[in-house]
Amino acid sequence: MSLKKNVIANFSGGVWSALMGIAFVPFYIRLMGAESYGLIGVFFSIQTMLAVLDLGLSQTLGREMARLSVDRKNAQLMVDTARTLEIIYWVVAIGVVALIAIFSDFIAYRWLNPELLSRKTLQEALWVVAIVVGLRWPVALYMGGLNGLQRQVDVNIISAVFATLQGAGAIAVLWYFEPTVRAFFMWQALIALLQVVVFKIVLWKNLRSDLNGKFYWPLLKNLWRFAAGMTATSLLSTVLMQMDKILLSKLLSLSEFGYYTFAASVAAVISRLVGPIFTAYYPRFVELVSKGDQPELIKTYHKGCQILAITIIPFTLTLAFFSKEVLQLWVRDSNIVEHSFLLVSLLVIGNALNGLMNMPYAIQLAFGWIRLGVYVNIFTVIVLAPAIYFSTLRWGAIGAAVVWMVLNSFYFIICIQIMHRHLLKTEMRRWYVNDVGKILVGSLIVTGISRIMIGTGYSDILKIIIILGVMGAATTIAAVSADSLRYGNKLIQYLRCRQ
């Protein structure tokens, strides 16, 4: 499967999944209430936090499938690797279900701050959450294996179908049967069961069906260093990504936390746009590193960085500058808008800064160099918790959003420099200026001037036209900037050769 097709497939699937992930949120809040949606936010946080028990296995399987698939002689080793990691993953999944069930009493009766929902209702919902998380757990492993095999079209078709079932199906259940959080989670459990079965079948169909995989302990001896490093990185990254939600679920009322969760889900669209591009390029990086093809690696790296910047920068700036208008057009609920629009602006900027660093991070993984992420995340975790705690006490949810934006600004400035000096020593300036800087400046000029010139009082139709026009213009400017930079570099190289 070509890199271009994988990028298109991943992007299409990511956009659709993102749309399904946020399109129905206002309806969830209207049907169940902000407090029930706050519990859904707790569910997402639990699912993300427990992802650290992945132990780096999904990334490891993807990396091994990409590395081993270069040579057909590795067919048996690929099957054994998949089977070994699959068995470990399912054992951990059972442990995850038990862990959530054990702590459901503490979460329902001692941690959350409900105003309308009963404690018993919370606990019962958390029992179903345990089943949902356990069933969704192995999906990450199967997706990692398929991505490593570069079967990303299959992954995105399946993901898009189940994202639609999760979102649209939940609305149907809440509307026609029972508008409760328990009904919501029961539907999610059913879809999670179907999803994990389908992904399992597809992965093993793409491996050698005539070979029997077996649990092979010696494989773990070769993989444990990378897996352990990925576990440490994943643990720290998850803590950083979820620290705000963990603390806010305790410091805020469940309804206030529901509004923050809504804003975070809108801002998370950036991650949905980044993920498909990262997934397409990462196996290619691994392949080029394995071959030792440094010139092609550098060329592919910068192309991926520019595609990523063109994808997320115009969208981010449009949403950041026009968050209130976008939410007014979408949710049509002034209460939700007033509680969320500033949070959306701050969180989406933080997510964009984080997203732009995904290509450099993919390079680190391809080289197997993960110490930078571990050390930086350790330092940040130490600083982040007290920063969020005190800023939330002083300024509420807005304070936590500001901390998230500042944190990713630090990453953007410091970590990128360290990574390039270690792995791609001559490419740092090109990344800051060509891959990100000029694309950012061009888009910022378009969206900034548009925000200054556009006032209020427009009809809904005109607002839609204006916002889409601004985003389209910013995207065009970003793309033109990238193309002009590429042709400019070729011209400079030509002139140097002529001298």
Q: Is the same domain home to 323 and 367?
A: yes
Q: Is the same domain home to 74 and 123?
A: yes
- Mean of the pLDDT values across residues 1-29? 71
- Mean of the pLDDT values across residues 136-143? 84
Q: Is the same domain home to 224 and 324?
A: no
CB within 8 Å of 410: residues ≥ 6 apart = 380
Q: What percent of the chain has pLDDT over 90?
A: 5
pLDDT at 193: 92
3-state secondary structure the chain: CCHHHHHHHHHHHHHHHHHHHHHCHHHHHHHHCHHHHHHHHHHHHHHHHHHHHHCCHHHHHHHHHHHHCCCHHHHHHHHHHHHHHHHHHHHHHHHHHHHHHHHHHHHHHHHCCCCCCCHHHHHHHHHHHHHHHHHHCCHHHHHHHHHHCCCHHHHHHHHHHHHHHHHHHHHHHHHHCCCCHHHHHHHHHHHHHHHHHHHHHHHHHHCCCCCCCCCCHHHHHHHHHHHHHHHHHHHHHHHHHHHHHHHHHHHCCHHHHHHHHHHHHHHCHHHHHHHHHHHHHHHHHHHHHHHCCHHHHHHHHHHHHHHHHHHHHHHHHHHHHCHHHHHHHHHCCHHHHHHHHHHHHHHHHHHHHHHHCHHHHHHHHHHCCCHHHHHHHHHHHHHHHHHHHHHHHHHCHHHHHHHHHHHHHHHHHHHHHHHHHHCCCCCHHHHHHHHHHHHHHHHHHHHHHHHHHCCCCCCHHHHHHHHHHHHHHHHHHHHHHHHHHHHHHHHHHHHHHHC
Q: Is the same domain home to 299 and 434?
A: yes
Between 21-30, 137-146, 184-193, the lowest mean confidence (pLDDT) is in 21-30
Cβ pair 114, 37 in contact under 8 A = no
Residue at which a domain ends, from 220, 251, 282: 251
Q: Is the same domain home to 28 and 109?
A: yes
- Mean of the pLDDT values across residues 243-249? 77
Q: Decide if 257 is inside a domain.
A: no
Q: Is the pLDDT of residue 229 over 70?
A: no
Q: pTM, whole model, 2 decimals? A: 0.64
| Ramachandran sector of residue 216 (left: φ over 0; alpha: ψ -120 to 50; beta: rest) | beta
Q: How far apart are CA 140 and CA 57, in angstroms?
A: 9
- Mean of the pLDDT values across residues 421-440? 86
Residue at which a domain ends, from 251, 279, 306: 251
Between 58-62, 170-174, 301-305, the lowest mean confidence (pLDDT) is in 58-62
Q: Is the same domain home to 44 and 184?
A: yes
Q: Decide if 168 is inside a domain.
A: yes
Q: Is the same domain home to 239 and 345?
A: no
The larger pLDDT score, comparing residue 98 to residue 460, is at 98
Confidence of residue 258 (pLDDT cuts 50, 70, 90): confident
CB within 8 Å of 59: residues ≥ 6 apart = 144, 230, 234, 365
pLDDT at 343: 93
Q: Is the pLDDT of residue 482 over 80?
A: no
Q: Is the same domain home to 462 and 347?
A: yes
The larger pLDDT score, comparing residue 44 to residue 341, is at 341
Other beta carbons within 10 Å of 106 = 12
Other beta carbons within 10 Å of 385 = 16
pLDDT at 198: 93
Between 41-45, 53-57, 87-91, the lowest mean confidence (pLDDT) is in 53-57
Q: Is the pLDDT of residue 490 over 50?
A: no
pLDDT at 364: 87
The larger pLDDT score, comparing residue 162 to residue 210, is at 162
Place of tokens 């005109």: 462
Between 196-205, 344-353, 377-386, the lowest mean confidence (pLDDT) is in 377-386
pLDDT at 348: 93
- 82-124 residue pLDDT tens: 888 888 888 888 888 888 888 888 888 878 777 777 788 888 8
Q: How far apart are CA 79 and CA 331, in angstroms?
A: 48
- Mean of the pLDDT values across residues 311-334? 84
- Mean of the pLDDT values across residues 7-26? 73
Q: Is the same domain home to 319 and 188?
A: no
Q: Is the pLDDT of residue 8 over 50?
A: yes
Q: Which domain holds residue 169?
A: 1-251
Q: Is the pLDDT of residue 498 over 60?
A: no
Q: Is the same domain home to 192 and 273?
A: no
Question: Vertex 259, ends 446 and 45: CA angle to 5°?
Answer: 100
322 — phi, psi (to 5°)?
Answer: -120, 30
Residue at which a domain ends, from 204, 225, 251: 251
Cβ pair 188, 166 in contact under 8 A = yes
333 — phi, psi (to 5°)?
Answer: -140, 105
Give the count of alpha carbons within 13 A of 296, CB side only: 11
CB within 8 Å of 408: residues ≥ 6 apart = 350, 351, 353, 354
- Mean of the pLDDT values across residues 386-414? 86
Distances (CA, A) of 494 to 365, 464, 481, 488, 498: 34, 45, 20, 10, 6
Confidence of residue 497 (pLDDT cuts 50, 70, 90): very low
Q: Decide if 48 is inside a domain.
A: yes
Q: Is the pLDDT of residue 140 over 70?
A: yes
Q: Is the pLDDT of residue 222 over 70?
A: no
Selection from 232-236, 380-384, 437-441, 477-481 with the highest mean pLDDT: 437-441
pLDDT at 465: 67
- Report the mean per-residue pLDDT for the chain: 78
Q: Decide if 256 is inside a domain.
A: no
- Mean of the pLDDT values across residues 314-341? 84
Q: Is the pLDDT of residue 314 over 60?
A: yes
- Mean of the pLDDT values across residues 9-31? 75
pLDDT at 499: 47
pLDDT at 227: 59
pLDDT at 237: 66
Q: Is the same domain home to 147 and 273?
A: no
Selection from 197-201, 228-232, 269-273 with the highest mean pLDDT: 197-201
114 — phi, psi (to 5°)?
Answer: -75, 150
Q: Decide if 278 is inside a domain.
A: yes
- What is the number of domains present in the chain? 2
pLDDT at 479: 66
pLDDT at 342: 92
pLDDT at 228: 61
Q: Is the same domain home to 310 and 410?
A: yes
Q: Decide if 472 is inside a domain.
A: yes
The larger pLDDT score, comparing residue 46 to residue 160, is at 160
- 159-171 residue pLDDT tens: 889 989 988 888 8
Give the count of alpha carbons within 13 A of 207, CB side only: 27
Distances (CA, A) of 190 to 135, 136, 156, 253: 9, 11, 20, 30
Q: Decide if 259 is inside a domain.
A: no
Confidence of residue 349 (pLDDT cuts 50, 70, 90): very high
